[in-house]
Structure 1
Amino acid sequence: MCTVLTLDQKNLFGRTMDFPFRTPWGLTFLPAGYQWQPANQQEKISDRYAILGGMRLVGNHYLIGDGINEQGLVCAELFFSVAASYGQEEQGKLNLTPQDFIHWALASHATAQEVIDDLVNITVVKKKWFDDQQYPYHWLLMDSTGTYGIEPLGGRLVCFKNDVGAYTNTPAYITQLEKLNRYLGNDSGGVFTAQSKKDLTKENPPISGRNSSDRFILAAQARWGRKITTSKELSAFLRSVTVPKNEHHPHNYTHYQAIINQESGEYRFRNQLTGKIATYNVKENAQEKVIRRF
């Protein structure tokens, strides 16, 4: 039940991480040169760029929920159950589990376009990760040129410009746009048009639910209707879609909130269970040689 919202002002990225964990999430810095092994590969990959992100540590393996590398590329994974359809392993390509895709993207690419161009050289396959789980994901990319999405549909990776600047879980982005436009009362279908932006500034019916489509609409309203632009306003929006841990949400609740400044390289990680805030800057510390866990 995660929610992502990106803003043009300083290229801010904000998200709630609601995915149930088996090991704790924490802000983690992986230096350039860090070597890691995809779950279904024998050879290790050496990271070209330093990475800072919200991560889980399972044995000696890091699962990245979201992060930014030293070049300013941001990537996040969100749950994509039912809709996800992955390909088959292919010789001559790097075959990755869904869990390893984000590490691959941030490790070796400086821009979103570099990732998109390199997709022809990989296949994402439905295989278990090191914790013996297989997670269905889709991904958001962000750099100085804007926000993009990558979804595993029909056995292949589909890329698109995410003009709304919002992302949640299943259904697919085009279906989210169709639902958004129906809510706004226009006939734009699965396209985010100038009319959609205009309609978001009007008085629209209140949204009482918090499923993925509801949160997509709420994020779009915050982005285009309320026109939030600052990290403080972004933090307030994240609080509005945070799921508390209680008797109604004993498993699916918000574990952390993240705000990334793509322009400066700063990551602000708020542990929702403890209230502790950790902040670090990947661009300022790109020459660090050791792993840091905050």
Structure 2
Amino acid sequence: MCTAISFTTRQHHRFLGRTMDFPPRSTPWQLGYLPIDYQWQSLPEYDSFANDYAILGGMRQINDHYLIGDGLNSAGLWAAELYFPGPQVYYDHPQNHHLNLSPQDLIGWLLGMHASVAEIASELDTVALNSVIWHDHDIVHPFHWLLSDDTGTYLIEPTQYHLTIQPIQLGVLTNSPCYAKQRQKLTDYLGIDQDASDTEIIMAIRGSKTPPPLKRTPTSRFINAAVSLWQSSPFDDNDQEAFRLSSKILKQVEMNHLPGHDVYTHYREVVDAHAQTCYFYDLTTRQNLVHRLPDLMARFDQPSLFKS
């Protein structure tokens, strides 16, 4: 479920993208906007927040709560949560002297309260992720998070209680297994040493003539996205070409709605961080939405969801 990509053009314009393959539960996924000073309360219900930054991205509304699947904030920080079943480690009860958050609330804290990955890194050791059932869910859901700012692409993967941030030059994330194993399977696919650097992996991809796999599994989607992305680099300075590349890669890893399966792609999204523009394609309605974050900040002082 879900694939995300992140890359920067030679003109230093960042492009981000993701497919959302997770079932929407009680309310649909929509393009949403949360303003500066939007107030929300975390689970467990110990801490409340007022956002320092506005957020635009894929969301669901449950009563007065917003589940953020991905978003770009008004400081230029982007984050996406992707499903991560199996390896995740959460506390089974709130921790003293920590900021206790549910897995679903972490992305709101990342985007609402921080301007950069460096700011997050300076505060991340205060966070404790708790095994809490979110508002309209029936189990505790596992996630890991892809982050991007002007310094690069990063990963938060909760395989231990103490959360850390690691840079990932490949700029691709899917689901379980953990990123290190996905990367290892990519090196196996390319026939190179498992200890190869990211730069060496990228060079091997550029020299490979083997077409990427087209299966639905997370590993196949990881390899597909990585190969498709880096065989296209160095990335053109033309932002329209970068947008088309992002859309092409995400279309290749879409998951069709198969009979008897509730996991399929609900939306595809491309974000131009330089222009602060979000391109949201709803696969259910087959409609496109395009919004600029500065325009929404000038028009709305309340949370908004946009119908396609």
Is the TM-score greater than 0.5?
A: yes
Structure 1 counterpart SS, 2:60: strand
The one-letter code matched in structure 1 to 2:89 is S
Inter-CA distance 222–11: structure 2 relative to 1 (3 Å threshold): same
1:278 aligns with 2:289: yes
Give the distance between the partners of 1:63 and 1:24, measured in 2 at CA.
Answer: 11
Among 64, 67, 92, the alignment partner of 2:97 is 92
Paired residues for 1:257-272 under 5 Å: 257-272=268-283
Gaps of 5+ in 2: 237-241
The one-letter code matched in structure 2 to 1:269 is F
Among 157, 171, 175, the alignment partner of 1:169 is 175
Give the distance between the partners of 1:153 and 1:58, measured in 2 at CA.
Answer: 28
The residue number in structure 1 matching 2:120 is 115
The residue number in structure 2 matching 1:198 is 203
The residue number in structure 1 matching 2:16 is 13
Inter-CA distance 244–208: structure 2 relative to 1 (3 Å threshold): closer
Check conservation: 2:212, 2:228, Cα contact below 8 A: no
The residue number in structure 2 matching 1:149 is 155
The residue number in structure 2 matching 1:140 is 146
Check conservation: 2:40, 2:49, Cα contact below 8 A: yes
TM, length-normalised to structure 1:
0.94
The residue number in structure 2 matching 1:46 is 50
Check conservation: 2:8, 2:15, Cα contact below 8 A: yes
Check conservation: 1:86, 1:156, Cα contact below 8 A: no
Structure 2 counterpart SS, 1:156: coil
Q: CA RMSD in A?
A: 1.6
Q: CA deviation at 1:101?
A: 0.2
The one-letter code matched in structure 1 to 2:216 is R
The residue number in structure 2 matching 1:183 is 189
Identity, % of aligned pairs?
36
Q: CA deviation at 1:290?
A: 2.1
Paired residues for 1:202-241 under 5 Å: 202-204=208-210, 206-227=212-233, 230-241=242-253
Check conservation: 2:214, 2:224, Cα contact below 8 A: no
The residue number in structure 2 matching 1:32 is 36
Q: CA deviation at 1:208?
A: 4.4
Inter-CA distance 181–96: structure 2 relative to 1 (3 Å threshold): same
Give the distance between the partners of 1:135 and 1:238, measured in 2 at CA.
Answer: 24
Q: CA deviation at 1:11?
A: 0.5
Structure 2 counterpart SS, 1:152: coil
The residue number in structure 2 matching 1:158 is 164
1:102 aligns with 2:107: yes
Deviates more, 1:118-127 or 1:82-91: 82-91
Deviates more, 1:204-213 or 1:134-143: 204-213
Deviates more, 1:149-158 or 1:276-285: 276-285
Inter-CA distance 208–289: structure 2 relative to 1 (3 Å threshold): closer
Q: CA deviation at 1:43?
A: 3.8
Q: CA deviation at 1:196?
A: 1.3
